[in-house]
Chains A and B, each alone.
Chain A
Amino acid sequence: MIARWVRRKLEEKLRVSRWGLRKLDERLRIASVVREAVAKVFPDHWSFMLGEIALYAFVSLLLTGTFLAFFFDPSSGERIYAGDYAGLHNSRVSAAYASAVELSFDVRGGLLVRQTHHWAALIFVAAIVTHMLRNFFTGAFRRPRELNWIIGVTLLVLAIANGFAGYSLPDDLLSGTGLRIANSIALSMPIVGTWAAFLLFGGEFPGESIIPRLYILHVLLLPGLIAALIGAHMGILIRQKHTHFAGPGRNDHNVVGSKMWPTYAFRSFALLSALFAVTFALGGLVQINPVWLWGPFDPGTASAPAQPDWFMGWLEGALRLYPPIEFTVFGYLVPAPFVPGVLLPGLTFAIMYVWPWLDRLITKDRAAHHLLDRPRHSPARMAVGVWALSFYGLLLLAGSDDVLADLMGLPVLTVMKTMRIVVIVVPFLFAAAAYALARALRANPEQRLSGLRWKQIRKSDVVEEETRHGGS
């Protein structure tokens, strides 16, 4: 009885929504557009969900961030904290810091939202990176998708920048230290360094200007750019349609998978909900960046051990490991932070930007592709990818060398010196191993990594030679 009533109501609902569509179509002539959207085909493979996770993390960031913006006061001006947190009661701190503590302790639900926002930011960047790795190893960046790769790299840069800006806002001791190092990195640039640092900070570090400036970057400029680029990214995706993996009935001229409505929509909403569940669980249960414990920023103090958010950790590691080498150019100084702080990230992102064209040089393949490569398809690409993963991963690890030293009971200088060698040598070893394995797997297409025999790895060049000659 009840079931029937519910069904009737549901059907009415459906009719109502179609009534809405009809009314809209009468005014906007949307039938064909909507039909096309509803019939759009999405390939069925879990790895196509990674970009979506990033998208939904961004949604979570916008929602939680909007809530936070109602309470956060981005000012360096001092005032008395008079909220519920006893540890700071009646202390004179900056308005930014006071309001960050206030919205954690005095605003109902505030701490949950703040922590969820921070976790979502970590997941946002992680999802972008993972999505990018999938696109890298499967050759999804190849013609005709170079433009979307470039937009993707830009999104990564903006996401990292916005993450850093947000981390720096609460004016606590940790973020102040991060800003100080950012200031020194800006100063280290040849010719323009002093001006860049002074324009950004409005004078000498710390000054009064940086927090309001970072705020407007963090809540308007950067997220606006990110939203616009996500729009462009998805517009291009819709125009070009998805890539897909090889399989029966799949080729370069079609897409095979589920339609937008209903299967894909249900799946995607499930993913959105799952992501919200994870971010809220983390935000409610796992403490992150307790600024009230770090204390307010004080130019005379820095705390140890201090780690930045994970997506800045590789830079921190590079700063720590880079040897004390400074040189002069025409009598002008190029200070130590320049190479790890400016040159390294500059080169990293420059290479990422031009990767689609570098890949062409390696694979000699300039054709358009809609079918994805298997990762094994290009051992050279595999080697580059594994090198990068291990290099930046090890730098990230080196960013916590003091914690590492503590855990291993070694002097931190020993760890630092060892890591200097490890980050240079180990990535090349991994890359060579990955190259050999990819080649063996390519020669044995039906084989999986776990089933690979030593003989196959050793013989892979022979087999490959044979197949190449046999094929020609």
Chain B
Amino acid sequence: MITARRRAERGAAAAFGLTAVAGVFIGVVYVMGGNTALLGIGLAVAFASLAVGLALWAQHLLPERAYVEEREPAPSPPRLREALAAELNRDDRPLAQAPLPRRMLMLALAVLAVVAVFPVRSLLFRVRDPARALAETPWRAGARVVDDTGRRLRPADIPPGGMVTVYPDGHVGAADAMAVLVRVDPALLALPAGREGWNVDGLVCYSKLCTHAGCPVGLFVQTTSQLACPCHQSAFDVLRGAVPVAGPAARPLPQLPLGVGADGLLVARGGFTAPVGAGYWRRK
């Protein structure tokens, strides 16, 4: 007859044996190129059987007993506290006895502590004024409109319902300059007052950076004439100056006044109507 203890002993031994086998397996798999799945299986089996063996051992082969350990009560006994107080006051009280040096020492340490924070400013060494950097983009009046390969665009390059990501010439890839050029039916356009002349035959241009948290507004839904942001599902109405119509974005996408140069190429007639991307405290 096999006792429970015997069975547990055998079980644990078998489990550790399996760990050893799995270990060899891991070695072989590694030498043969290290297939990810096989290595994972090997390691999982090795550690799982180790766990089983140890658990069997703890459960069945160790005496099951509840031990009791007393807690020492939390504040130290008065005798020890008095001893501590006496020790601290042994040579009178050095800090209390020399008030002037003590205060100056405090002052010295406080000044050092404040100055120690200054190097944080070093983290920013390329930019003078963050709010200015955020407000500016390379778009200027007369800047030619190019696509992401640097090709200069003519109005005819964008088909109806089409969308192209554009940059000012010479600044391809500049994150804050990124804009979208979309073509809509000019008859439907209802741009805010004062922007009537900003489109070229239904071509309008907006910053590509979502005004919520700055994701690129990458999707143009032709049926609704909306630009959609993949990050938190904001949508902007292209026909009405890209005002937000859904999602958490609260400000319209800044618009870029478009025009056509003497050479027939698309140009900007100024910068964006507002700072691009996510909002910030000093945003005007």
Option from B33, B47, B212, B248 in Cβ contact (under 8 Å) with A274:
B47
Residue B69 CB within 8 A of the other chain: yes
Whether the Cβ atoms of A324 and B244 lie closer than 8 Å is yes
Which stretch, B78-86, B88-96, B229-237, B262-270, touches the partner chain A?
B229-237
Whether the Cβ atoms of B44 and A109 lie closer than 8 Å is no
Whether the Cβ atoms of A334 and B249 lie closer than 8 Å is no
The 8 A CB mask of B33-72 against A (1 = contact, 0 = none) is: 1101111110111111011101101100010011111110
Whether the Cβ atoms of B121 and A109 lie closer than 8 Å is no
Whether the Cβ atoms of A320 and B230 lie closer than 8 Å is no
Option from A44, A267, A284, A319 in Cβ contact (under 8 Å) with B232:
A319
Residue B77 CB within 8 A of the other chain: no
Option from A241, A266, A324 in Cβ contact (under 8 Å) with B58:
A266
Tell me, in angstroms, the Cα distance from A304 to B126 when the chains sit together.
33
Smallest distance from the beta carbon of B53 to chain A beta carbons, Å?
8
Option from B54, B73, B127 in Cβ contact (under 8 Å) with A203:
B127
Tell me, in angstroms, the Cα distance from A326 to B250 when the chains sit together.
7
With A188-B278, A266-B58, A269-B54 known as contacts, the answer to whether A177 contacts B215 (CB < 8 A) is yes
Residues of chain A with a CB closer than 8 A to B120's CB: 199
Residue A112 CB within 8 A of the other chain: yes
Q: Which residue of chain B lies nearest to A104 when distances are taken between CB atoms in the complex?
A: B36
Option from A185, A262, A323 in Cβ contact (under 8 Å) with B248:
A323
Residues of chain B with a CB closer than 8 A to A240's CB: 74
Whether the Cβ atoms of A180 and B130 lie closer than 8 Å is no
Q: Which residue of chain B lies nearest to A323 when distances are taken between CB atoms in the complex?
A: B248
Residue A368 CB within 8 A of the other chain: yes
Whether the Cβ atoms of B40 and A183 lie closer than 8 Å is no
Smallest distance from the beta carbon of A331 to chain B beta carbons, Å?
9
Residue A87 CB within 8 A of the other chain: no
Whether the Cβ atoms of A194 and B279 lie closer than 8 Å is no
The 8 A CB mask of A275-287 against B (1 = contact, 0 = none) is: 0111011111100
Interface size on B, residues (CB 8 A): 76
Whether the Cβ atoms of A299 and B173 lie closer than 8 Å is yes
Tell me, in angstroms, the Cα distance from A197 to B280 when the chains sit together.
10
B-facing residues in A25-82 (Cβ within 8 Å): 39-41, 44
Residue B241 CB within 8 A of the other chain: no
Option from A44, A198, A267, A402 in Cβ contact (under 8 Å) with B54:
A267
Smallest distance from the beta carbon of B68 to chain A beta carbons, Å?
5
Whether the Cβ atoms of B51 and A274 lie closer than 8 Å is yes
A-facing residues in B125-165 (Cβ within 8 Å): 125-127, 130-131, 133-134, 148, 165
Option from B62, B131, B216, B282 in Cβ contact (under 8 Å) with A262:
B62
Interface centre among A180, A240, A334, A341, by most B CB within 10 Å?
A: A180
With A274-B48, A306-B230 known as contacts, the answer to whether A195 contacts B278 (CB < 8 A) is no
Residue A200 CB within 8 A of the other chain: yes
Residue A131 CB within 8 A of the other chain: no
Whether the Cβ atoms of A109 and B215 lie closer than 8 Å is no
With A266-B54, A416-B233 known as contacts, the answer to whether A187 contacts B66 (CB < 8 A) is no
Residue A271 CB within 8 A of the other chain: yes
Residues of chain B with a CB closer than 8 A to A282's CB: 40
Whether the Cβ atoms of B47 and A277 lie closer than 8 Å is yes
Option from B123, B178, B214 in Cβ contact (under 8 Å) with A183:
B214
Residue B21 CB within 8 A of the other chain: no
Residues of chain B with a CB closer than 8 A to A109's CB: 30, 34, 36, 39
Residue A413 CB within 8 A of the other chain: yes
Smallest distance from the beta carbon of A30 to chain B beta carbons, Å?
20
Whether the Cβ atoms of B123 and A199 lie closer than 8 Å is yes
Tell me, in angstroms, the Cα distance from A115 to B39 when the chains sit together.
12
Residue B28 CB within 8 A of the other chain: no
Residue B283 CB within 8 A of the other chain: yes
Residues of chain A with a CB closer than 8 A to B279's CB: 187-188, 326, 333, 335-337
Residues of chain B with a CB closer than 8 A to A364's CB: none
Smallest distance from the beta carbon of B164 to chain A beta carbons, Å?
11
Tell me, in angstroms, the Cα distance from A144 to B71 when the chains sit together.
13
Residues of chain B with a CB closer than 8 A to A206's CB: 175
Whether the Cβ atoms of A254 and B69 lie closer than 8 Å is yes
Tell me, in angstroms, the Cα distance from A370 to B30 when the chains sit together.
50
Option from A44, A200, A241, A335 in Cβ contact (under 8 Å) with B66:
A44
Whether the Cβ atoms of B231 and A205 lie closer than 8 Å is no
Whether the Cβ atoms of B124 and A280 lie closer than 8 Å is no
Whether the Cβ atoms of A256 and B124 lie closer than 8 Å is no
Smallest distance from the beta carbon of A148 to chain B beta carbons, Å?
14
With A181-B214, A300-B216 known as contacts, the answer to whether A325 contacts B43 (CB < 8 A) is no
Whether the Cβ atoms of A111 and B230 lie closer than 8 Å is no
With A112-B39, A325-B250 known as contacts, the answer to whether A277 contacts B48 (CB < 8 A) is yes
Whether the Cβ atoms of B133 and A258 lie closer than 8 Å is no
Q: Which residue of chain A lies nearest to B45 when distances are taken between CB atoms in the complex?
A: A277
Residues of chain A with a CB closer than 8 A to B123's CB: 199-200, 202, 209
Whether the Cβ atoms of A271 and B176 lie closer than 8 Å is no
Residue B109 CB within 8 A of the other chain: no
Residue B192 CB within 8 A of the other chain: no
Residues of chain B with a CB closer than 8 A to A341's CB: 213
Residues of chain A with a CB closer than 8 A to B165's CB: 300
Whether the Cβ atoms of B40 and A203 lie closer than 8 Å is no
Residue A303 CB within 8 A of the other chain: yes
A-facing residues in B225-283 (Cβ within 8 Å): 229-234, 244, 246-251, 277-283
Tell me, in angstroms, the Cα distance from A252 to B232 when the chains sit together.
51
Option from B36, B68, B69, B173 in Cβ contact (under 8 Å) with A112:
B36
Whether the Cβ atoms of B215 and A253 lie closer than 8 Å is no
Residues of chain B with a CB closer than 8 A to A205's CB: 175, 214
Residue A184 CB within 8 A of the other chain: yes
Whether the Cβ atoms of B216 and A324 lie closer than 8 Å is no
Residue B183 CB within 8 A of the other chain: no
Tell me, in angstroms, the Cα distance from A209 to B231 when the chains sit together.
24
Interface residues of A (CB under 8 A from B): 39-41, 44, 108-109, 111-112, 115-116, 144, 177, 180-181, 183-185, 187-191, 193-195, 197-200, 202-207, 209, 240-241, 249, 252-259, 262-263, 266-267, 269-274, 276-278, 280-285, 299-306, 316, 319-326, 332-337, 341, 368, 370, 401-402, 412-413, 416
Given A241-B71, A257-B66, 4 new contacts (CB under 8 A)? A253-B73, A280-B40, A335-B280, A337-B278
Interface residues of B (CB under 8 A from A): 30, 33-34, 36-41, 43-48, 50-52, 54-55, 57-58, 62, 65-71, 73-74, 120-121, 123-127, 130-131, 133-134, 148, 165, 173, 175-176, 178, 208, 212-216, 218, 229-234, 244, 246-251, 277-283
Q: Mind listing 5 A-B residue pairs with CB under 8 Å?
A: A194-B130, A258-B65, A306-B230, A336-B212, A370-B71
Closest A-B pairs by Cβ, 7 of them: A284-B40, A335-B279, A304-B230, A184-B278, A281-B44, A270-B54, A277-B47
